[in-house]
Structure 1
């Protein structure tokens, strides 16, 4: 009888213990530490925070299954693939108290990857644009250089003059090709041969002036002055700017959203289909969607968030920065990531291979 009672006691305690832990998988320092501590103190749920350093690692965990994680932070493209693979649980905005204050325009853009916003809530958002060593570029192009234009990359007259100080391009075929198509006046997701051939010719003209194509190297290279122009994420340019300033470099790294329009990215909150503790994940999503928590995140990391109610709580300098929160006329020219068919992806990968062959 004692053994039976002991087994019953131990067996009954297991679900309780499990319910008090949540396994989180995200970028490093992507949830403010003080906010996470408040969540743990308020709910009693202890959070194990594991980090990834690339979206490929996160995607592999999601698509392989049995990751053991309750809450993950996929970007738009990863989100679309995970939904397509059945790797995420459906969630509804009505489940979350603070979802009502999310910007409907941004939700509509995220719906390109998550139709109906059925699998994810937006966490942060930003753009792909131009990371610039201001002094190096102005030295070569003059003080009236079009810093907010993709002409710096795609017009040979400019790119040839910047070649010696270094141009880097993000190694992301879907994103870069979409941006090139948009620059040419085409649908960013056009699949017609003539539009893609024009994009191929545009990239071919850029190719001799590019120092390299890469995914993270340009952050330190911008900060050290080893490249002067990079087509990159706003967050990467922001890190480069901070590192340049901290190391006392005699130049300033800035970021500009291209006036021609560009891609908007989202990092989202989603629950794996086999999450051990989805109820706790839902509690944390609702906590993270609080305007106070999202404003705290934006004030610390300089990433825009999707909560309209958070805007009054954001540092006025950040809220007024048009390269973090673009004005309506520029925001109207942003386009979202979209899931392409396998045939379209292969078509673009072949184009990209032609472009980056020499790197």
Structure 2
């Protein structure tokens, strides 16, 4: 329950429980504990808490406990459930050769933190190193930072600092715009704390899969868009990144019915967070890796972004992996590709080469 109370500023679950369920029975407490125990202790690595949550809400409904505030209570319980899970890494990566700094808050909302894990190679004490921030996918709605922990550990074992981040998910916020705010706050935190952790603040890269790739792309293309910064978290520091790699990247072009606009009216926030709309001559170099058989985010999304980058004279690469679907990247081979691109940008006079290619 200490963890539940820690999440309370964000979920408001206990506050609603107190006002809605005025005389909770032992059976209610047992049902509530079964929900929390399943998510936090028994199955902490699931991507969402919906199965145990459904059982808990069914108990409450069958016993007529929720009344007119049912939907509000369900939302609070869902927020709590999502915050209790930890998720599971996509692949196991090398251990050793780097220091771990875990569960560090990079931004607060209503007193509740969004956290990151930072992995810094031991060699960083000799000279500052670049840092790659890895952003998990899941439709801006599921998964946690542990999903890409293998990427970060692999990167740190090869001499670059790396971070994985959580961000607010759609069950708790109105739109993905707030996910963008958090992603930018994470970049600002890394840059603001670069000296402390022996990171080169001029060499920050980002990479992500699916919705995380969208966030990486928006970071790469909107370094100077002040209205996308949000309102908290090291606002005096730049959120501009110097390189990016997108894995199954949504372009949000509006040209076709593709995720996340697949039917009905275009969401109001769609154009506001479209990386395709922001591409300009000063954007970060970016590589796009996509499965040829991706039916969730069509390969044309990556191709559109790649072509738009080329038209602006930006350094960019496109790799279509034949026969692969949407989540093709849960392996060390993809982590190697991400690091290879970052090294070609950041090392061997890579930044100057990139500028030359733009010219």
TM-score bracket for the superposition, by shorter chain length: under 0.3
Rg comparison, structure with higher value:
1
Structure ranking higher in helix proportion: 1
TM-score (norm 1): 0.25
Q: Whose relative contact order is higher, 1 or 2, with alpha carbons under 8 Å and at least 6 apart?
A: 1
